[in-house]
Amino acid sequence: MASFKELIQAEKPVLIDFHATWCQPCKVVSPIVKQVKEKMGDRVSVLKIDVDRNQSLAQSLSIQGVPTLMIYRKGDLKWRQSGVVSAEALIQQLEYFGA
């Protein structure tokens, strides 16, 4: 949890993909997140967090379903959505929050 708090303190936006290996929609989101990282490069950090391996973190953030995507900047949650999101929508959100 401490390292999570450190990671989300970044100046640039941090996109977090909460997922699970058994989750079919997560398998759809994974290449989308990869595509966003390739397009945005160093302007954004991307973290993939397996909710089954990080249950206490998922509970503390009230992750009810996967995939759940979040954008943090300077430690503040700026955006959150569950379900499949297009690469264009993610890029638009990341740019809005300073990427």
In which domain, by residue range, is 17 found? Answer: 2-96
Yes or no: say if 72 and 80 are a contact pair by the CB < 8 Å rule.
Answer: no
CATH of the domain at 46: 3.40.30.10
Whether this prediction's pTM lies above 0.85 is answered by yes
Interval 81-92: pLDDT, tens: 999 999 999 999
- Work out how many domains the chain is built from and give that number: 1
Sheet bearing 76-82, strands edge to edge: 45-50, 14-19, 68-73, 76-82
- The Cα-based distances of 31 to 44, 59, 76, 89 in angstroms read 16, 25, 26, 14
From the candidates 26, 29, 61, 63, give the one annotated as an active-site residue.
26
Grouping H, G, I as helix, E, B as strand and the rest as coil, residue 69 is: strand
Q: Which residue has the higher pLDDT, 1 or 28?
A: 28
Residue 26 known to be catalytic: yes
From the candidates 20, 23, 32, 71, give the one annotated as an active-site residue.
23
The answer on pLDDT for 2 being more than 70 is no
